[in-house]
């Protein structure tokens, strides 16, 4: 077991894709890990490779995060394990179906995974991190949080939720020394596409998952609140976010705006 003063990192959705890249990169930086996903065998294979390559200590917590009891075991670990100082809220999925032609149970599962689990894990970790005045939460959103028109169904809405949740957490936990990063990946070459009945090759353009993970970590090291790895000109985000903030003093009003008043 590696002796390390670095915080342990709990990664959800660590069995493949972006989560597996985060696990790899944090292990190489010397952090012990707790890997969370449903596929225990896949996580064992990843952990064996990373233990051999880096010497860090890796625990595996197999859990279906849409199941409230199994989610509870992850919350318990986050609540009780003082060594955990970084949460990567990465597990997520897309769902087939559109709002016009919905698979209602698939929508409900998606909300349990992309919204409920992300919120509960951030809440549990954020509370403990704030009480000790340090810690970090990385929430994996998506570029479709900004342009939900790109995807049918409720996936974009769940990813907008992750973005605005991150902004709320930044304002609430930031003063207590907790860093919260929202990462907005573009379409990235992972299994998420095939799992939801699409082919990544139909998209025209998709980022390599290693490149995405490395870029997101540059943003993490810079302590960026929002990281959009594919956006060439960061001023575009700043302008967009600035326009939102400029509305702030005008939004709370005692009376309806002139255009809504009955004549
Ligand atoms: P992925 O390769 O399919 O990985 C998803 C991970 O989540 C897997 O480890 C999966 O593991 C886990 N997971 C899925 N359902 C779960 C459940 N019910 N309980 C626990 N774990 C579950 O896809 P990915 O692209 O890396 O996705 C990671 C995150 O990036 C997601 O939040 C996704 O929305 C976001 N994202 C992806 C893209 C993209 O184009 N790839 C773009 C923007 C944002 P098990 O199957 O073993 O449970």
Query: What single string gives the DSSP state of each residue in 27-79?
Result: HHTT--EEEEES-HHHHHHHHHHHHHHH---EEEEE--TTSHHHHHHHHHHHH
- Torsion 135-61-94-79 (CA) sign: negative
CB count within 10 Å of CB 158 equals 26
Please state the length of the chain.
Answer: 263
Nearest-10 crossing angle of helices 104-111, 155-173: 20
Q: How many helices (H) and strands (E) does the chain have?
A: 9, 7
Find residue 227's DSSP bridge partners. 183
Best residue for ligand 1 mutational test, from 112, 142, 187, 190 (most atoms within 8 Å of Cβ): 190
Mutate to test the pocket of ligand 1, among 110, 113, 192 (most ligand atoms within 8 A of CB): 192
Of 187, 148, 140, the closest CA to residue 165 belongs to 140
Give average pLDDT by consecutive 10-residue segment, the chain, 263 residues: 77 98 98 98 98 98 98 98 98 84 87 98 98 98 94 90 98 98 98 90 91 98 98 98 97 97 88
Phi, psi of 243 (to 5 degrees): -65, -40
pLDDT of the residue at 86? 98
User: What per-residue confidence (pLDDT) applies to 2?
Assistant: 45
DSSP-assigned letters across all residues of 148-183? GGGSSTTHHHHHHHHHHHHHHHHHHHGGGTEEEEEE
Dist. CA 245 → ligand 1 center (Å): 31
Tokens 């349990």, residue located: 112
Look at residue 102 in the predicted model and tell me its pLDDT.
73
7-41: buried (b, 16+ CB within 10 Å) or exposed (e) per residue? bbbbbbbbbbbbbbbbbbbbbeeebbbbbbbbeee
Pocket of ligand 1 (CB under 6 A): 13-19, 37-39, 42, 64-66, 90-93, 113, 140, 142, 185, 187-188, 190-192, 195
Backbone angles phi and psi of 12, in degrees to 5:
-90, 150
Distance between CA atoms of residues 27 and 8, nearest Å: 10
Neighbours of 190 (CB within 10 A): 22
User: What is residue 1's predicted lDDT score, i.e. its pLDDT?
Assistant: 44
Pocket perturbation via mutation, ligand 1, pick of 33, 91, 206, 216 by most ligand atoms within 8 A of CB: 91
136 burial type by CB count under 10 A (0-12 exposed, 13-18 middle, 19+ buried) = buried
């Amino acid at each position: 077991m590696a002796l390390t003063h670095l915080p342990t990192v709990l990664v959800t959705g660590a069995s493949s894709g972006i989560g597996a890249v985060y696990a790899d990169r944090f292990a190489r930086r010397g952090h012990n890990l707790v890997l969370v996903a449903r596929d225990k065998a896949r996580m064992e294979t990843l952990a064996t490779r990373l233990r051999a390559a880096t010497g860090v200590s890796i625990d595996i917590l197999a859990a279906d995060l849409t199941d409230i009891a199994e989610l509870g075991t992850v919350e318990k670990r986050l609540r009780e394990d003082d060594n955990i100082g970084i949460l990567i809220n990465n597990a997520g999925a897309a769902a087939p179906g559109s709002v016009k032609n919905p698979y209602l149970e698939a929508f409900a599962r998606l909300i349990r995974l992309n919204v409920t689990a992300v919120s509960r894990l951030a809440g549990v970790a954020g509370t403990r991190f704030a009480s000790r005045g340090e810690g970090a939460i990385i929430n994996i959103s998506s570029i479709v949080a900004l342009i939900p028109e790109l995807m049918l169904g409720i996936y974009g809405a769940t990813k907008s939720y992750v973005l605005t949740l991150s902004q709320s957490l930044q304002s609430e936990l930031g003063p207590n020394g907790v860093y919260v990063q929202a990462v907005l990946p573009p379409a990235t070459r992972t299994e998420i596409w095939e799992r939801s009945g699409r082919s990544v090759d139909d998209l025209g353009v998709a980022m390599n998952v290693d490149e995405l993970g490395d870029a997101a970590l540059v943003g993490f090291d810079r302590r960026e609140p929002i990281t959009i790895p594919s956006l060439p000109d960061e001023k575009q985000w700043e302008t967009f976010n600035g326009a939102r903030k400029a509305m702030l003093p005008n939004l709370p009003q005692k009376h309806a705006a002139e255009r809504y008043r009955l004549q």
